[in-house]
Structure 1
Amino acid sequence: MENLLCKGVTMNLPKEFEEKMKTLLGSEYEEYTACYDEPRHYGLRVNTAKISVEDFLKIAPWPLEPVPWIENGFYYDGDHIQPSKHPYYFAGLYYLQEPSAMTPASRLPVEPGDRVLDVCAAPGGKATELGAKLQGTGVLAANDLSSSRAKGLLKNLELFGIGNVLVLSEEPGKLVSYFEGYFDKILIDAPCSGEGMFRKDKKMVKAWEEHGPSFFSKIQKSIITQAAQMLRPGGMLLYSTCTFSPEENEQTIEYLLQEYPEFQICEMEGYEGFVNGMPQVTENRNDELKKTVRIFPHRMKGEGHFLALLQKGEAHPALPSGIDTGKQKRLPEELTSFLSHVHREFLPSRMELRGDKVYYMPAGLPSIRGIRFLRTGLLLGELKKNRFEPSQAFAMNLKMEEYDQILNLPVGDERVIKYLKGDTLDVEDLVSPKEKGWYLVCVDGYPLGFGKLVDQMLKNKYLPGWRWNG
């Protein structure tokens, strides 16, 4: 073990890792080890599906510094502020994410209407950005093998207001028969040995000693070849890890190119701190591997990462994202009555009733009978006796101007926190005695959830599992 001083604490690095990094970095090795004595970097990524970067900066409650290679990414002082304890977080206006980890989703060129798969998606840092890029169109399939982690993923997607989703919890190999050649874009943020996170989380060193690069390399090769089969001809795949290991990085890409020679490595939008991939660490020394990207923490303000962008064969026009058959369904009167307050078109042919729950489905989904999923489409709400109760997910998916019964509170109003804690609100100053029904509660124009207005009191319908605990 080599002892390094990390924020005043002695940190032990495995000798094997130390030797590998000396080989990779050569004369830069001492610069790399010196970064362990520097503080970690905290990042915040703006949800451009809800607010523009320009508008967010006008209302941001704290000083922010741009992450120079991420258009909607910012550094914040994580030692002194807690952005997760602010109403704007509960409005889904941003996601807290380590700056380097913002890079993979930023470099996958997702366009509105695309069919997109995030293979290993929990807790949602990449999936929420991919969903924001889709702008409510196409479909985002977000998968995580762990059902408990997939629940956290679903919450983050709902918080971000992303409704065109399919949240799965399956072995990637099982998805192939359902989605062969289906997706336009695929992101694999692969399980890895985590060497790039040693500075951020010292527990990763112990995990590395238990399961090192060879263990993860087998998993990565399996996942990337399975994903290759689910990508349409001309589609694009972004592979990333948070490790430095050649076995998990360039050698995994080399393996994919051997198994699927139709793939080619693409150039990525650059940044001065990026380091070219290293063909010299592979068997074939393919010069094209220089187009992959390594992120080292001594070169830029972020943790370690690796990225490779690939295209499957020649570029082809994307397939239609799904053709609506126009088949009409008779919707329950309670649902129709509620939707009369919503200023957005919902096609009856894409409505799906399962039991007492109502979902609005993305267009063009194949049958998924037989695979484990947590959510298909946007959960609009629940049919109850003589009434329809809208869901938390529906509230987050709406924009304030799309609903005609609004309670818009300024961020400094004490009722904002009371609402987020689940309290009943006195809103006598905001509504007349005759007003009643479902109201969308907003903070500074951004939805938080629903409430039921009765006698100028708002009965709180904020989802219990999401409530403010501070």
Structure 2
Amino acid sequence: MSDIQLPIAFESQMISILGKEEFDKFKAAVNQSPRTSIRLNPGKRFTPSWPISPIPWTENGFFLEERPSFTLDPAFQAGAYYVQEASSMFIEHVLKSLQIPKGIYLDLAAAPGGKSTLLSTYLGDEGIVIANEVIQSRAQILKENAIKWGLGNIIVTNNDPDHFEPLEGFFDLVLVDAPCSGEGMFRKDPQAREEWSPDHVLLCSSRQKRIMDKAGALVKGGGYLIYSTCTFNEQENEEMIQFLTEEFAFEPVQIPLDPSWNIIESKVETPDGTFFGYRFFPHKVEGEGFFITILKRPDSASTQEPGKIKDFKHPVLKSINEREEIAFDSELGFEGKGKYYSLNDSIFRIDQQFFRHFERIALHLSLRYFGVELGKKQKNDWIPSHEWALSTLPKNGFASFEVDLAQALDFLRKNDQEIPDLPIGWVLMTYQNLPLGWVKNLGNRLNNYYPKEWRIRM
């Protein structure tokens, strides 16, 4: 890796933070290639074939010794793991060490979906994640990753932070991985280095304050706010803690650290007490630059419950009656009770226990995806969706067929295939027992239902 040229003003900033001797180590680390890391999906059984080593602050995260072609790995396309930067997986340690109560979580700036899928895993069937992205094209990527993860507890929305105002005090946890100047990504992203300037830092800080001015009010009494960036400077980090404690009532939260992790704890003195931030430097930690702080809303802060919506009316979403819902759950062999909705003649399912929260969200926000889309019901037959294939829900009543690597890649490329001994009708294609999607064997030809827009072109 050739030497990375850092902006002069950035070097001065980092020397003031680290000192000259530490800065030299930092600069040397920035000139080294970063390690690739993945986070496994416990909802899908998968054992990596590559050499791996554990990331110390996460149960599901691992470093890889070399970077494979993820695009050409059917297990990646099946949602068996997510390629995520190691430092940001520290959020798992935050959740588990604080034993943050499960419930309704919001990831306000969620694309491409690494942190949302991490929250999804932590919650399991005990909560839901509203994964929001303001930019429409990025919301589409977020939707794809939520579908691949497959746990059915993610609602993807496409909204500006302003649109959340009716939901103040609604969320048990609000996570904001804020758009930032990207200093922590300098060795991975040449564009971040080119765009950096002191003025850009101030612009990012101003944008972050606008977002956090909305986000702070969304946390219910007793709930948590997690704020993170991939920067080192204090304007986008410690000064944001000052801003939040001036605008809202929050209580400090300190996270237990293993000294061997080399994560640097910083302290911010405020009239409400000493607050804490945690900074990851690439010369100290095997990971990229990262900053995170956790704040707790006092129990006395306002809390908004979803309330009962007597007659749910939505422009495009229709609630399915209880008799049909019971029949669906029984027919499909789903454990637990589902709440079902129809959208464009397709049937969606979410967990029954969160349907009031979902309906409240649906009335105020622009939905891009929710729960699991099962497909269309025509008389007694299902036309199953790709979303159902990738979900962890059972697919009772459908045949499945295990393919080898070459057949899996042909399927993912939507190439014409002839597969001997394939059952007639709808067939779930699997690779290493991981569902990839559907084909329909008509006897004289094979129809591949893998989404065109997801097709591998390599």
- Give the TM-score of the pair, scaled to structure 1: 0.84
Report the alpha carbon displacement of residue 344 of structure 1 after superposing the two structures with TM: 0.9
SS of residue in 2 equivalent to 1:368: helix
Secondary structure, aligned partner of 2:112 = coil
**What's 2:452 paired with?**
464
Structure 2 residue aligned with 1:262: 250
Of residues 413, 416, 427 in structure 1, which corresponds to 2:408? 416
Match of 1:299 in 2: 284
CA RMSD of aligned residues (A): 3.2
Q: Residue type of the partner of 1:134?
A: L
Alignment equivalent of 1:221, drawn from 209, 215, 221: 209
- Mapping 1:61-460, distance limit 5 Å: 61-79=49-67, 81-109=68-96, 113-177=102-166, 179-209=167-197, 212-270=200-258, 272-279=260-267, 288-289=274-275, 291-314=276-299, 328-329=321-322, 331=324, 342-345=332-335, 347=337, 350-361=339-350, 362-364=354-356, 365=358, 366-369=360-363, 371-383=365-377, 388-399=382-393, 402-412=395-405, 414-423=406-415, 425-431=417-423, 436-455=424-443, 458-460=446-448
Classify 1:327/1:158 alpha carbon distance in 2 versus 1 (closer, same or farther; 3 Å).
closer
**Cα drift, residue 355 of structure 1:** 3.2
Give 1:315 shift: 9.4
* Aligned mates of 1:250, 1:222 — CA distance in 2: 16
Percentage identity across aligned positions?
30
* C-alpha contact 2:230 2:290 (8 A) present in aligned 1: yes
Q: Describe the SS at the equivalent of 1:62.
A: coil
* Structure 1 residues 390-441: Cα deviation after superposition (integer angstroms, max 9, x where no partner): 2111111135x652323241544x322222222454444354xxxx432222
Unmatched segments (≥5 aa) in structure 1: 1-6
Q: Equivalents in 2 of 1:410, 1:367: separation in Å? A: 40
Q: Quick check: 2:251–2:272 contact (8 Å CA) kept in 1?
A: no
Q: Which residue number in structure 2 is paired with residue 3 of structure 1?
A: none
Q: Which residue of 1 aligns with 2:315?
A: none
CA distance 1:315–1:345, shift in 2 (3 Å): farther
Distance in 1, matches of 2:23 and 2:363, equals: 52
Query: What one-letter code is carried by the residue in structure 1 that aligns with 2:388?
Result: F
**Take 1:371 and 1:468, find their aligned partners in 2: how far apart are those partners?**
32
Q: Which residue is 2:31 aligned to?
A: 37
Spell out, residue by residue over 1:42-71, the C-alpha distance to the aligned partner (whole angstroms, 9 max, x if none). Answer: 1111112223xxxx3xx3121112222222
- Do the aligned partners of 1:192 and 1:248 also contact (CA within 8 Å) in 2? yes
Instruction: Kindly indicate whether the alpha-carbon contact (under 8 Å) linking 1:265 and 1:311 is maintained by their aligned counterparts in 2.
Output: yes
CA distance in 1, matches of 2:109, 2:259: 26
After superposition, give the CA deviation of every residue in 1:252-281 in whole Å (9 maximum; x if it has no partner): 0111112213332332454523433434xx
Q: CA 1:89 to 1:441, structure 2 compared with 1: closer, same or farther past 3 Å?
A: same
Q: 1:441 to 1:313 in 2, by over 3 A?
A: same
- In structure 2, how many angstroms separate the alpha carbons of the residues matched to 1:135 and 1:146? 27
Q: Deviations over 1:63-101 (max 9, x none)?
A: 11222222211112445x213321111111001112113
Distance in 1 (alpha carbons) for counterparts of 2:433 and 2:255: 40
Q: Deviations over 1:344-365 (max 9, x none)?
A: 14746x2112331222235222
Letter in 1 for 2:7: P
For structure 2, the residue ranges without an aligned partner over 5 or more in a row are 311-318
Question: Which of 2, 9, 13 matches 2:6?
Answer: 13
Structure 1 pair 467–136 and aligned structure 2 pair: CA distance change class (3 A): farther
Cα contact 2:217–2:248 (8 A) shared by 1? no
Query: For residues 25 and 307 of structure 2, what CA distance do their matches in structure 1 show?
Result: 51
Q: 1:77 & 1:322 partners in 2: Cα distance?
A: 51
Letter in 2 for 1:296: F
Q: CA deviation at 1:233?
A: 0.6
Report how many aligned residue pairs link the two structures.
441
Distance 1:263 1:415, change over 3 A: same
CA distance in 1, matches of 2:101, 2:306: 10
> Cα deviation per residue 1:125-172 (whole Å; 9 max; x = unaligned)?
111111122224422101111011000000000011032222111111
- Say if 1:49 and 1:404 are closer, same or farther in 2 by CA, change over 3 A: same
Residue 341 of structure 1: how far off its partner (Å) = 6.2
Q: Secondary structure at the match of 1:298?
A: coil
- Contact 1:193–1:211, Cα closer than 8 Å, also in 2: no
Secondary structure of the residue aligned to 2:169 is coil
* Shift in alpha-carbon separation, 1:315–1:84, aligned structure 2, 3 A: farther
Matched-pair contact (CA < 8 Å) for 1:267–1:292: no
Q: Provide the rounded CA distance (Å) in 2 between the counterparts of 1:147 and 1:122.
A: 10
1:24 is aligned to 2:17: yes
Structure of greater relative contact order (alpha carbons < 8 Å, 6+ residues apart):
2
Distance in 1, matches of 2:258 and 2:171, equals 25
Distance 1:180 1:321, change over 3 A: closer
The question of whether the paired residues in 2 share the 8 Å contact of 1:392 and 1:449 is answered with yes
